[in-house]
Amino acid sequence: MKGFDIIGAPFNQLGCVTTDQNTVDGLRELDDKSWVGLTDWIQVRTQRWGADIVDLGDVILTTDIKNALDSDHKDKALMDYANTLKSKVLESYHHGRIPITIGGDHSIAVGTLQATMAFYQQQQGKKVAIVWVDAHADINNSLDSNLHGKPLALLMNLYPYNEWNMPADITINADDIYYIGVRDLMRNEYDLINELNITNYDMAFIEKYGFNAVVQMLMEKLERDYDHIYLSFDYDALDGSIFRACATPNVGGLTAREALHLVDSISSSDKFVGADFVEYMPELDDSGVSKELMVKLIDAVWGFRS
């Protein structure tokens, strides 16, 4: 039986809308807007269904990280936070478990994916596929704009600024990235995706071929060509005309059912080794519907598809 660790990463400081609220606790706790909280749902799955799920708590912002943010040293703040998160995720891997990290903005992937590449690619020589589900490519390799739009550029060592330098043996290769749901690119990102020939199942591709066919196409390739699969799911991949509880809602994305099918398909694979769920902001969730969907998506990772 698979064992899952929930790791909170409430680092929400590098996007266009920041918050000091703990976004992970917003998912954990019951409130008057929705019928479910992640903490109670973990109890349901462990006590009634025999699942092995442990909430390890949060990787908090240290005083040094807060001071770096206050003095506008955002790169240093991210480096320090990512290193702490990396250690927490590596600990989960070393215990033979599957880390599910809840953000936080998408910059937390700098920590989770460094850990994943260190454990599997560096230490074991394994090939890891990264499925990046997002309205945005997050591969901005320029100094313009916010760091939360640059995690893949950092992880691919394409961002030669402010002392960023990813070790070669944990760098992510362009061939191993699979975009799902992208529909809002910066020009330099568009050029990079084409130059590096990154697989991009964007919304136009999904519209042309159909979502089920795209998921089947994706999974056939991943099962054939990779040892392991990691999922990084940004809430704003969802259709922003309905799901607006984030800093950057974008109309025309995935439906709830499509997202559930995708997450279930990936996490059902024996090659699945971990996931991020990022960018959901409870304080923007007026109806509680988004919270219910986020809990359902995480529940699907645990093997409970509904």
> 264: annotated binding-site residue?
no
> Which position has the token pair 């704009």?
145
Query: Could you tell me if 176 and 128 are in contact, meaning their C-beta atoms sit under 8 angstroms apart?
Result: yes
> Which position has the token pair 């990813």?
166
Of 14, 6, 16, 24, nearest in space to 282 by CA? 24
> 191: annotated binding-site residue?
no
With a CB cutoff of 8 Å and minimum separation 6, the contacts of 7 are: 56, 57, 58, 59, 85, 88, 89, 92, 99, 100, 101, 102
What is the β-pairing status of strands 228-234 and 272-278?
parallel
d(CA 189, CA 172): 16
> 136: annotated binding-site residue?
yes
d(CA 293, CA 84): 29
Hey, which bits of 68-184 come out as E strands? 98-103, 128-133, 177-180
With a CB cutoff of 8 Å and minimum separation 6, the contacts of 124 are: none
Q: Which two tokens stand for residue 59?
A: 């990787």
> 32: annotated binding-site residue?
no
Q: Would you tell me the crossing angle of helices 109-116 and 74-94 to the nearest 10 degrees?
A: 40
List binding-site positions: 106, 134, 136, 138, 234, 236
Enumerate the known binding-site residues for Mn(2+): 106, 134, 136, 138, 234, 236
